[in-house]
């Protein structure tokens, strides 16, 4: 039985509805596009199986990390043809995960979540196991199956940004959610299971290991030098200049001094801000254009699409060092040449000791040459 559509929010926020199995679906609309905003969302006509139970996590005391075991993900859709894509709009002959016949940006709860659908308190590190509570969402960037984020208009990139900001704020309020992470996996080479342009959002029941490691470094640097690590790293990159890829008034993109991957770009704000939901409208606008600029530079390196992971690092919701954190983006790719990929082998995968094939300075130089400096073409609007 399909769930009736829910009317849109009065403040022109997302249009909310539910899929046939109870999962929430939100539509976000381009602003100023001249299209009429619908008053209600189409209902999901499918008959779906009940949602899976919340997975179980186990604690690894040797590394101090949680591992989720979501066995139902073995049955998730894997690289279907375009005619069977679950993220394309629904049509008269086929119902998909998105019941609308067309959309701008759609966000819905993942049918095969690694965390959730249950929510609750954060796990106790003294426990050996706990429910993998939380929430996993899919963000479809466009209705067109063959689109890419780099090919989106600036207006659409802003719509995606508004969706990320909205979901960060709302998911951070769910009881037991410790950190919200947004990412896009692009390309079969790094393991995507759907080619349709999309990303994901994970609302974790714990603070992720890499974020905690960064926070430990920030605190240690403060105690040792009295300075702010994120601010000083950015200042060093700006003084040197050789690794800068693009720079705006409020954001800078650069290849880090100790980049691990053949392609690695960090996009950082010019002030400490814990998460996307804390950005000003001006910061969101410039970030939308700068992010497009970075992805287009990456796309311009080779005649074929480059696989990448774009991960937004945000501060844990309740961490004591939250206000000293600086949310940022890290885009990485294993592509080290047109027909060569870097594989994480013994030293990297087993020991965590990276050996780089390309210097950060050379990577930054190549990316700079792809396009004119950011802001020259259209006043920073991409």
Catalytic residue numbers, as ranges: 198
CA-to-CA dists, residue 318 to 62, 95, 175, angstroms: 25, 40, 11
Rounded to whole angstroms, the Cα distance separating 242 from 88 reads 42
DSSP 317-370: SS-TTGGG---EEEEEE-EEETTEE----IIIIIT-----SS-HHHHHHHHHHH
Q: How many residues does the chain have?
A: 382
Q: How far out from the chain centre does Cα 206 lie?
A: 17
Give the phi and the psi of residue 306 in degrees, each rounded to 5. -100, 125
Helical ranges in the chain per DSSP H: 154-172, 209-225, 229-240, 281-299, 360-370
DSSP 75-103: GS--S--GGG-TTSBPBTTB--SB-SSS-
């Amino acid at each position: 039985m399909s769930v009736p559509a829910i009317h849109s929010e009065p403040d022109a926020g997302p249009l909310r509805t539910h899929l046939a199995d109870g999962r929430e679906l939100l539509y976000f609309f381009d602003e100023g596009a001249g299209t009429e905003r619908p008053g209600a969302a189409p209902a999901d006509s499918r008959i779906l199986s009940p949602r899976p139970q919340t997975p179980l996590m186990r604690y690894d005391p040797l590394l101090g990390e949680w591992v989720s075991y979501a066995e139902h993900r073995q049955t998730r859709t894997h690289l279907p043809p375009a005619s069977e894509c679950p993220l394309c709009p629904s049509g008269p002959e086929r119902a998909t995960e998105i019941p609308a016949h067309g959309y701008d940006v759609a966000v819905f709860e993942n049918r095969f979540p690694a965390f959730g659908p249950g929510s609750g308190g954060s796990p106790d590190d003294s426990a050996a196991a706990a429910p993998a509570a939380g929430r996993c969402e899919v963000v479809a960037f466009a209705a067109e199956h063959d689109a890419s984020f780099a090919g989106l208009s600036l207006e659409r990139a802003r719509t995606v940004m508004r969706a990320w900001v909205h979901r960060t704020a709302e998911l951070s309020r769910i009881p037991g959610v410790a950190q919200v992470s947004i990412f896009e996996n692009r390309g079969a080479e790094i393991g995507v299971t759907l080619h349709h342009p999309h990303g994901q959002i994970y609302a974790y029941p714990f603070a992720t290991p890499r974020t905690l490691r960064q926070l430990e470094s920030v605190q240690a640097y403060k105690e040792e030098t009295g300075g702010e690590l994120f601010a000083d790293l950015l200042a060093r990159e700006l003084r040197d200049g050789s690794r800068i890829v693009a720079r705006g008034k409020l954001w800078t993109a650069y290849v880090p001094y100790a980049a691990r991957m053949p392609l690695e770009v960090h996009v950082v704000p010019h002030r400490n801000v814990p998460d996307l939901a804390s950005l000003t409208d001006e910061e969101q606008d410039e970030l939308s254009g700068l992010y497009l600029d970075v992805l287009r530079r990456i796309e311009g390196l080779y005649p074929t699409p480059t696989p990448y992971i774009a991960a937004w690092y945000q501060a844990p919701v309740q961490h004591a060092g939250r206000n000293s954190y600086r949310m940022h983006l890290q885009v990485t790719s294993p592509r080290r040449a047109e027909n060569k990929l870097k594989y994480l082998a013994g030293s990297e995968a087993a020991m965590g000791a990276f050996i780089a094939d390309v210097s950060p300075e050379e990577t930054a130089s190549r990316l700079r040459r792809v396009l004119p400096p950011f802001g020259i073409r259209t006043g920073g609007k991409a």
